[in-house]
């Protein structure tokens, strides 16, 4: 009888020790999940901000286009209707030429159409890069949630394979987190 009682006590001790390890695994997975969700939300916010920046730059580009077209139209009207011998007409045409060139490209202020289009494309590219990071973090978060469920199921069922599966999924999630942080392709 004492041998059976002793075996039961050893089994209970081993089971309690295993549960502590599983609880620690769950705590680690939950911590990594919290960090991953925070990073994911940060990347999502950056996507929104970069898209807004690009939209603002394209709006500014369109405004420059409208002004440039208005200047081009005024120049065309002066050229067709004005007296080419009149100094004021020629001065106005020269001023409009300068304005048209200024609207097309203004390296000094960085606010010509050429520069604005470049900045807008850069913002779109950055938004795309943040979106890729966000998607990887979301994938990692989903995997971590599944890993937590599997580790919890191990405590309830006692099926050790679920714990190993949980750890494996956790490792894959870490790979996605690394890819999200460092921009590598998975």
58-89 pLDDT, tens digit each:
999 999 999 999 999 999 999 999 888 999 99
Residue 11: what pLDDT?
44
What radius of gyration do the chain's Cα atoms show?
32
* Consecutive H or E run containing 13: helix 2-81
Q: What angle do CA 101, 107, 96 make, to 5 degrees?
A: 20
Residue 16: what pLDDT?
61
Residue 2: what pLDDT?
61
Residue 17: what pLDDT?
72
**How is residue 97 written in tokens?**
């030429």
Distances (CA, A) of 133 to 5, 160, 161: 55, 33, 31
């Amino acid at each position: 009888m004492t041998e059976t009682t002793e075996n039961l006590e050893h089994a209970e001790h081993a089971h309690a020790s295993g549960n502590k390890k599983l609880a620690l695994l769950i705590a680690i997975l939950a911590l990594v999940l919290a960090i991953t969700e925070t990073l994911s939300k940060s990347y999502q916010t950056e996507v929104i901000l970069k898209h807004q920046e690009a939209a603002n730059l394209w709006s500014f580009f369109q405004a420059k286009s409208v002004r440039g077209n208005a200047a081009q139209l005024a120049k065309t009207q002066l050229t067709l209707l004005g007296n080419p011998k009149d100094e004021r007409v020629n001065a106005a045409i020269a001023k409009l030429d300068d304005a048209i060139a200024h609207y097309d490209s203004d390296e000094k202020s960085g606010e010509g159409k050429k520069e604005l289009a470049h900045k807008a494309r850069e913002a779109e590219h950055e938004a795309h890069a943040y979106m890729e990071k966000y998607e990887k973090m979301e994938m990692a978060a989903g995997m971590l949630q599944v890993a937590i469920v599997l580790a919890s199921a191990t405590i309830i069922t006692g099926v050790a394979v679920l714990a190993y599966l949980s750890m494996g999924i956790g490792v894959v999630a870490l790979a996605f987190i690394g890819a999200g942080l460092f921009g590598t392709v998975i």
